[in-house]
Amino acid sequence: MSGAHAATTWHGTLCEMGMIVISSTIAVGPITETLSTEGEPTGAAGAAVERAFPRFVDDLAWWIEAAKEQRKRKAPPY
């Protein structure tokens, strides 16, 4: 979980670099306890990823659409 907590520290820096930082996250614990060798969610950690993924995708899709629309109106300031 330390990686997930460290990500919040980067929020301000990434924003200053012109990056969009979405509010939802997906925390993946030990990869072998989260995904099978085929990349399918497995166990309790995999179930947690499956629960978090739809919100993450919705947030990401919203920002992608917002960025596309804004770029039609005005070029990025960076």
Q: Is residue 51 domain-resident? A: yes
Query: For the chain, how many structural domains are there in total?
Result: 1
- CA distance linking residue 15 with residue 21, whole number of Å: 7
Q: Is residue 30 domain-resident? A: yes
- CA distance linking residue 49 with residue 54, whole number of Å: 9
**pLDDT number for residue 2:** 55
**pLDDT number for residue 5:** 72
- CA distance linking residue 47 with residue 64, whole number of Å: 26
**pLDDT number for residue 19:** 83
Predicted structure pTM score: 0.72
Q: Is residue 63 domain-resident? A: yes
**pLDDT number for residue 74:** 92
Q: Is residue 78 domain-resident? A: no
Q: What range does the domain containing 14 cover?
A: 2-72
Q: Is residue 77 domain-resident? A: no
Mean pLDDT, 10 residues at a time, the chain of 78 residues: 70 85 84 92 93 94 93 84
- CA distance linking residue 24 with residue 41, whole number of Å: 19
- CA distance linking residue 71 with residue 10, whole number of Å: 25
**pLDDT number for residue 4:** 67
Q: Is residue 24 domain-resident? A: yes
Q: Is residue 27 domain-resident? A: yes
- CA distance linking residue 19 with residue 15, whole number of Å: 5
